[in-house]
Amino acid sequence: MGDLTGATYLWLKERISTLPRDEGTFLTEAEVARLTGASRTPVRESLMRLESEGLVERIPKRGAFVPPLSDSEIRQVMRAREMIELWSVDQFLSAGRTEALDELDGILAEQEAATEDHKRFIDLDSDFHHAIVAASGNQVVAHFHGELRDRQVRMGLHAVKVSEYRTGMVLAEHRRIVDGLRRSDANHARTATSDHLARTLHVMLS
């Protein structure tokens, strides 16, 4: 992928992640080319890649439709996250990945400072969970979890927009997870993770 195509692809992913989860949006090739300064070819190549990732439905020579995220898709993403993240908590503790606690503390501190910037807050939310998965040491699992990020961000933005208290709740729930990891209490960390994901799913579907 050339530099211009790569930049256009990343721009589109960022744009898609901020779209309302319950609304579909059409992106024309001409509009994307105008906004990014790219020619039609990099735009078309970027849309083809996004289509292969399931993020858009491409309409040849016109552009692409970004479908809304259905309740079913949200449930599937959250179920996949639950399986990966609970397994990662177990691996984190069994491998004694205590060095990752400093990274989690740092992300939490940044999140606390970003409660008024919803996009930044949700990006950091994804970073927090991915740091735990990455600490498992399994690069294949970490890669798969990373592939869910764009949907997670779009879903997460919806959650913090529909609930004015959600950012504070997320921070408290994240602290519970870190507390369990710091005390090497697998039951506490797993329960905190499950509860956090269940509450998140509930808000996302509201």
> What is the per-residue DSSP string for 122-165?
HHHHHHHHHHHHHTT--HHHHHHHHHTHHHHHHHHHHHHHH-TT
Residues 62 and 93 in one domain: no
The arithmetic mean of pLDDT across residues 144-165, rounded, is 90
What pLDDT score does 114 carry?
96
Residues 98 and 141 in one domain: yes
Residues 39 and 108 in one domain: no
Task: Look up the pTM and report it.
Answer: 0.88
Lowest mean pLDDT among 124-138, 154-168, 185-199: 154-168
Show the domain range for 122.
71-204
Residue 1 above 70 pLDDT?
no
The residue out of 36, 66, 96 marking a domain boundary is: 66
> How far apart are the C-alpha atoms of 14 and 186, rounded to whole Å?
35
Residues 9 and 40 in one domain: yes
Lowest mean pLDDT among 15-24, 105-114, 164-173: 15-24
The residue out of 46, 66, 86 marking a domain boundary is: 66
What pLDDT score does 40 carry?
86
Residues 119 and 60 in one domain: no
Specify the CATH number for the domain of residue 34.
Answer: 1.10.10.10
Share of the chain above pLDDT 90, in %: 69
**What are the phi and psi torsion angles at 159 (to 5°)?**
-60, -45
Residue 2 above 70 pLDDT?
no
Element (H, E) at 91: helix 71-94
Residue 103 above 90 pLDDT?
yes
Residues 42 and 77 in one domain: no
Residues 62 and 85 in one domain: no
Residues 94 and 163 in one domain: yes
> DSSP readout, 50-82?
HHHTTS-EEETTTEEEEPPPPHHHHHHHHHHHH
Residue 163 above 90 pLDDT?
no
> How far apart are the C-alpha atoms of 78 and 80, rounded to whole Å?
5
